[in-house]
């Protein structure tokens, strides 16, 4: 069974379009699990409407509990039992073949990596709030193409976007025990799979319209930094992020600070 995990928060503006795209999928054998993160608009009413129309929706509402996107998705991951998992953002549009393409690639990789944790992810088409295309490839737009960054540097630069992921139960089981700040759910799961020598399959095809608007929690790069090289290659001057990232890498890969710094310098020299 495929569990699609959707976290919502004040998503009334775009939520219906996303839900419609889910129910236009060519592959329909999925269950949708939704956790609302304390919405104050009509999001829950919209979810209740769709729940009355479709029997495969499970809705979790924890009123007044705002965990943020990362922890809300991780809560769903911990509390849902399935064979395969996909994350869904409330404001994107899925191509009708998204689930089928992702599942086919995962099942194909499973034949080669039967006992491993597996992630499959894809590229994205970036749009503005009205779905006008601003970039035909997020990977090219953000300079995060997996073939250039490679698995060696995944621990420094996450190129696995959560809303394109499908992953197996073993990847989930590796990821649900954590302490401290895991930065973002997609990055954390990628690190858990990578550090366990699991499989990460990058499909160079877009499967969603990745809508960018003023209320995105994260998204395509659009910030302007005073010192872009320090930000991109060394995550400075965001020292809190750098500290949390180092702690994750130290724990998952057994890196000391010198080895971590050497890897960062190598990444800088390569790019």
**Window from 96-110, 163-177, 202-216 with minimum mean pLDDT:** 202-216
Nearest to 155 by CA among 247, 230, 93: 247
Q: What is the pLDDT of residue 229?
A: 52
The mean pLDDT value for 202-215 works out to 91
> Does the structure show a pLDDT above 60 at 221?
no
Q: What tokens were used for 53?
A: 């129309």
Domain spans, the chain: 2-221, 223-271
Q: How many C-beta atoms lie closer than 10 Å to residue 15's C-beta?
A: 22
In angstroms, the Cα distances linking 243 to 22, 48, 139 are 38, 41, 26
pLDDT digits (tens, 9 = 90+) for 27-58: 999 999 999 999 999 999 999 999 999 999 99
Which pLDDT belongs to residue 235? Answer: 55
- 211-to-17, 100, 125, 201, 266 alpha-carbon distances in Å: 11, 21, 9, 23, 33
Domain 2-221 has CATH 3.90.550.10: yes
pLDDT band at 225 (very low <50, low <70, confident <90, very high): very low
Supply the pLDDT for residue 64. Answer: 64
Per-residue pLDDT at 230 exceeds 80? no
Does pLDDT of 216 surpass 70? Answer: no
What pLDDT band is residue 76 in, cutting at 50, 70 and 90? very high
**241 — pLDDT class (breaks 50, 70, 90):** confident
User: Which range is least confidently modeled, 75-79, 206-210, 227-231, 260-264?
Assistant: 227-231
% of the chain residues with pLDDT over 70: 90
Q: What angle do CA 104, 110, 113 make, to 5 degrees?
A: 145
Cα–Cα distance measured from residue 48 to residue 207, given in angstroms and rounded to the nearest whole number: 27
Nearest to residue 33, comparing CAs of 98, 77, 70? Answer: 77
Q: Is the pLDDT of residue 195 over 80?
A: yes
Q: In the structure, what pLDDT confidence band is assigned to residue 226 with cuts at 50, 70 and 90?
A: very low
Contact partners, residue 28, CB within 8 Å, separation at least 6: none
Per residue in 128-185, pLDDT tens?
999 999 999 999 999 999 999 999 999 999 999 999 999 999 999 999 999 889 999 9
Name the average pLDDT for the chain. 91
Confidence of residue 234 (pLDDT cuts 50, 70, 90): low
The C-alpha atoms of residue 19 and residue 90 are separated, in whole angstroms, by: 8
Q: Decide the pairing of beta strands 30-36 and 2-8.
A: parallel
Please give the full DSSP string across the chain, using - where no structure is assigned.
-EEEEEEESS-TTTHHHHHHHHTT-S---EEEEEEE----SSHHHHHHHHHHH-TTEEEEE-TT----HHHHHHHHHHH---SEEEEE-TT-EE-TTHHHHHHHHHHHHHHHSTTS-EEEEEEEEEE-TT--EEES-HHHHTT--HHHHTGGGTTTS----GGG-EEEHHHHHHHS---S--S-HHHHHHHHHHHTT-EEEEEEEEEEEEE--TT-SS-S-----SSHHHHHHH--S-HHHHHHHHHHHHHHH---HHHHHHHHHHHHHH-
Radius of gyration from C-alpha coordinates of the chain: 18
**223 or 130: whose pLDDT is higher?**
130
């Amino acid at each position: 069974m495929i569990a699609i995990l959707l976290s919502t928060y004040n998503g009334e503006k775009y939520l219906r379009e996303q839900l419609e795209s889910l129910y236009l999928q060519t592959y329909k054998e999925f269950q949708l699990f939704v956790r609302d993160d304390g919405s104050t608009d009509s999001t829950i009413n919209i979810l209740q409407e769709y729940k009355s129309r479709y029997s495969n929706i499970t809705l979790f509402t924890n009123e007044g509990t705002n965990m943020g996107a990362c922890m809300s998705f991780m809560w769903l991951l911990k509390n849902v039992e399935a064979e395969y998992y996909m994350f869904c953002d409330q404001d994107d549009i899925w191509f009708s073949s998204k689930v089928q393409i992702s599942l086919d690639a995962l099942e194909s990789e499973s034949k080669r990596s039967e006992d491993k944790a597996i992630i499959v992810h894809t590229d994205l088409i970036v749009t503005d709030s009205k779905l006008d295309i601003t970039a035909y490839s997020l990977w090219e737009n953000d300079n995060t193409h997996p073939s250039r960054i490679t698995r060696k540097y995944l621990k420094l630069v996450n190129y696995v976007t959560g809303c394109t992921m499908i992953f197996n139960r073993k990847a989930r089981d590796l990821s649900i025990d954590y302490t401290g700040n895991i930065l973002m759910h997609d990055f954390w799961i990628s690190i858990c799979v990578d550090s366990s020598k699991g499989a990460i399959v990058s499909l160079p095809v877009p499967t969603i319209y990745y809508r960018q608007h003023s209320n995105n929690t994260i998204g395509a790069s659009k910030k302007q930094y005073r010192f872009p090289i320090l930000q991109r290659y060394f995550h400075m001057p965001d020292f809190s992020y750098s500290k949390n990232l180092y702690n994750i890498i130290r724990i998952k890969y057994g890196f000391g600070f010198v080895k971590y710094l050497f890897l960062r310098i190598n990444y800088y020299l390569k790019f």
